[in-house]
Amino acid sequence: MNAGGRRALACSLGMALLVAAAAAAATPRALGGVDGRPDAIVDLATAEGAALVGAAWRYADAWIVETDFRAPGPDLRPSGPAVRTHDLAPRAGAREFDDSGWPVVEPASLDARRGTGRLSFGWYRTAVTVPERIGAFDPTGSTVVFEIVVDDYAEVWVDGVLARRLGQRGGAMVAGFNAPNRVVLGRDVRPGQRFQIAVLGANGPLSDPPANFVWIRSATLDFHRSARPPALPADQVTVLRADPGLDAVVPADLTVEKVADGFLFLEGPVWVREGGYLLFSDPNANVIYAWSPDAGLSVWRVKSGYAGEDVAAYAQPGANGLTLDPDGRVTAAEHGRRRVTRTERNGVVTVLADRHDGRRLNSPNDLVYRSDGALYFTDPPFGLPGGHDDPRREVPWSGVYRVADGVVRLVATDLRGPNGLAFSPDERHLYVTNWDPARKVVMRYEVTADGGLTGGRALFDLTGAPGAEALDGIKVDQRGNLYVSGPGGLWIVSPAGRHLGTIRLPELPANMAWGDADGRTLYLAARTALYRVRLGVPGLRP
């Protein structure tokens, strides 16, 4: 919970309608990245461009063939009775696929019509090598993007991988009718680096096959000297160093980058290592977004927390906290539906918790898994239109719960606004923040042998800190330091409860997530924008 949640408590129906109108008008956008003008372009549809990067195009038709499969079983997977279905042949996306017998396509004839017309498919394959120079441009250290426009649809494999994720639009997947597919081949590339590319083209619309053929409208390599989001000016970032211990955590030359903006109220980020992207929620807009350095910004799930006819009464109907279970599946705290869900690999949504002792939960807010697979989540009423006084409430407390083996167990009820939560590195303690202006504390509980909580005490008290905000999200690094969303900024606290320092940004972060390959980048979901900072200690992450 945060200022947006506070507003939700006082929100009338008229205010909620204004929020809904703002949601419709919001235009989220990624910043920096590879969407701007490139510094150099290699046209793969010309002999000169193809020769510069050693590209030799080949083509072969693809066909729909019959094959054996199985109908869906009780697990919604192909485990039922045997059936006949269809497949595509050949499967030519693999890096080592042998295309030596395919006809060579001259670059200037990529726009020649191929395939058999109507519902038809075809494969284009080539490989490109980063050159020493592109005119006066030195590509060393740049980001290279492959862009192709196929008439009508395309999917792009790079080095044998078709990058895909739930909700993905474009990139390696079908982008739309005659839309460009843009795929980052590599970052910080070096001359001599080679990439294998396979493109499946298809006639469309598939439901109304056209009287034309498959062909390539354009194909280029775009080289970008810098693909980083913009850094905030120094006068927009303040670092209060309250203790020398902060020097090991926050570098003296700290740079804060704005990754994306234009949102209503950001929350609940989590870095998905399998795929290298960030998920984060906008509970006001009822949307979960995905962002990656390669694919930029996209919608991962709409109606993320509620789809009821009275949605206008909710200021924050959408999903809030997000995390991953030990198997990498996304788990979400859904405000409006008042439940915790897990998204399976096949997209099916499994409800993990929506009741305790037969009574509906308030509005689950944030969540974290322990390494043994047990899930802990907070359940204040901030997602309900009336907050603490909402007549929909069925439990009289704001609880912390544990879910294990299908059992939902109440493990703490001593906070009015339990919000963010995180484990210590050894998992002996659970930290829980309290969104309560009258008691702004980080609680530390001991985790008992059966997974319960005991010995709760205030590790860090910010009740006297200036500012109306209470405490929201919390994360922990590998040394046990705490990162807390509190009044005025991001508070960094030692495992002993000593204030090390505070980072102040133009907007207050509601929650955070450790990301990137080494886990040293902290992504900050801060009101209308997503920021990131590089820190000196890697974090604990699912």
Q: How many residues does the chain have?
A: 542
DSSP-derived secondary structure letter, 295: T
Give dist(CA 432, CA 153) in Å, integer.
Answer: 48
Asked if residue 410 has pLDDT above 80, the reply is: yes
3-class SS of residue 48 = helix
pLDDT in tens, 349-396: 999 999 999 999 999 999 999 999 999 999 999 999 999 999 999 999
Both 329 and 248 in one domain: the answer is: yes
pLDDT at position 100: 97
pLDDT at position 26: 56
Tell me the average pLDDT of the chain: 93
Query: What is the arithmetic mean of pLDDT over 149-159?
Result: 97
Both 251 and 373 in one domain: the answer is: yes
10 Å Cβ neighbour count for 133? 12
Pair of tokens at residue 361: 């939960």
Give dist(CA 359, CA 316) in Å, integer.
Answer: 22
Tell me how far apart the 2 most distant CA atoms of the chain are, in Å.
75
pLDDT in tens, 281-326: 999 999 999 999 888 899 999 999 999 999 999 999 999 999 999 9
Residue at 197 is within a domain: yes
CATH code of residue 215: 2.60.120.260
Both 207 and 235 in one domain: the answer is: no
- Which stretch of DSSP H or E encloses residue 214? none
**Domain end marker among 206, 224, 242:** 224
In Å, how far are 59, 77, 157, 542 from 100, measured between CA atoms?
10, 37, 18, 44
Both 169 and 272 in one domain: the answer is: no
Residues with Cβ within 8 Å of residue 245, at least 6 apart in sequence: 494, 498, 500
CATH code of residue 250: 2.120.10.30
**Domain end marker among 224, 240, 263:** 224
Give dist(CA 271, CA 259) in Å, integer.
Answer: 14
With beta carbons less than 8 A apart as the criterion, state whether 351 and 364 touch.
no
Both 257 and 175 in one domain: the answer is: no
DSSP-derived secondary structure letter, 467: S
DSSP-derived secondary structure letter, 392: T
Give dist(CA 444, CA 463) in Å, integer.
Answer: 16
Both 217 and 257 in one domain: the answer is: no
- pLDDT interval class at 275 (50, 70, 90): confident
Identity of the amino acid at 379: D
Pair of tokens at residue 453: 């909580």
Q: What are the residues facing 68 on neighbouring strands? A: 84
Give dist(CA 182, CA 218) in Å, integer.
Answer: 12
Query: What is the arithmetic mean of pLDDT over 146-160?
Result: 97
Query: Residue 280 belongs to what domain range?
Result: 3-33+229-534
Residue at 542 is within a domain: no
Q: Which residues of 37-72 are buried (b: 16+ CB within 10 A; e: fewer)?
A: ebbbbbebbeeebbebbebebbbbebeeeeeeeeee
Both 243 and 216 in one domain: the answer is: no
Sign of CA dihedral 410, 412, 418, 420: negative
Residues with Cβ within 8 Å of residue 239, at least 6 apart in sequence: 246, 250, 254, 501, 502, 503, 504
Residues with Cβ within 8 Å of residue 337, at least 6 apart in sequence: 305, 306, 354
Both 362 and 250 in one domain: the answer is: yes
Both 397 and 462 in one domain: the answer is: yes
pLDDT at position 394: 97
Asked if residue 2 has pLDDT above 60, the reply is: no
Both 170 and 128 in one domain: the answer is: yes
For the chain, the domain total comes to: 2
Residue at 89 is within a domain: yes
Residue at 541 is within a domain: no
With beta carbons less than 8 A apart as the criterion, state whether 120 and 210 touch.
no
Both 212 and 251 in one domain: the answer is: no
Q: How far is CA 481 from the centre of its chain?
A: 24
Complete DSSP assignment for 4-15: HHHHHHT--HHH
Nearest to 453 by CA among 392, 530, 370: 370
Residue at 540 is within a domain: no
DSSP-derived secondary structure letter, 245: G
Give dist(CA 189, CA 182) in Å, integer.
Answer: 17
- Which stretch of DSSP H or E encloses residue 21? helix 13-25
Residues with Cβ within 8 Å of residue 136, at least 6 apart in sequence: none
- Which stretch of DSSP H or E encloses residue 49? helix 47-52
10 Å Cβ neighbour count for 276? 15
10 Å Cβ neighbour count for 15? 15
Both 300 and 422 in one domain: the answer is: yes
pLDDT in tens, 58-80: 999 999 999 999 999 998 889 99
Nearest to 483 by CA among 401, 445, 538: 538
Residue at 205 is within a domain: yes
pLDDT at position 163: 87
**Domain end marker among 189, 205, 224:** 224
Which alpha helices (H) appear in 379-534, and where do they start and end? Answer: none
- pLDDT interval class at 229 (50, 70, 90): confident
Sign of CA dihedral 101, 105, 110, 113: negative
The phi, psi pair for 277, rounded to 5°, reads: -145, 165
**Following CA atoms 341, 273, 444, 358 in sequence, which dihedral angle do they give, to the nearest 10 degrees?**
10
**Following CA atoms 319, 325, 329, 332 in sequence, which dihedral angle do they give, to the nearest 10 degrees?**
-10
10 Å Cβ neighbour count for 347? 10
Query: What is the arithmetic mean of pLDDT over 186-202?
Result: 97
Residue at 113 is within a domain: yes
pTM of the entire predicted model: 0.88
Nearest to 337 by CA among 315, 313, 376, 364: 364
DSSP-derived secondary structure letter, 463: T
Give dist(CA 197, CA 93) in Å, integer.
Answer: 8
